[in-house]
Amino acid sequence: MDLAGCGGLLRDSNGQWIHGYTQKIGACDALHAEMW
């Protein structure tokens, strides 16, 4: 198991950036990281 994180962003219908986010998941395997 390794350290993992996730992130993403929200855009409106015109493609303009609204909000971005990141999150530390902690120690997990690749399967659990993908499920986030």
Q: Tens of pLDDT along 4-29?
A: 888 999 999 999 999 999 998 889 88
pLDDT score for 18? 97
Residue 11 burial (CB count, 10 A): 11
CA atoms of 36 and 34, how far apart (whole Å): 5
pLDDT score of 3: 87
Instruction: Say yes or no to pLDDT of 33 above 80.
Output: no
The whole-number pLDDT of residue 2 equals 83
pLDDT at 4: 85
pLDDT at 30: 81
H or E stretch covering 18: strand 17-28
The answer to whether the CB of 30 falls within 8 A of the CB of 3 is no
Is residue 24 within 8 Å of residue 5, measured between CB atoms? Answer: yes
List the chain domain ranges: 2-35
Contact 2, 15 (CB under 8 A): no
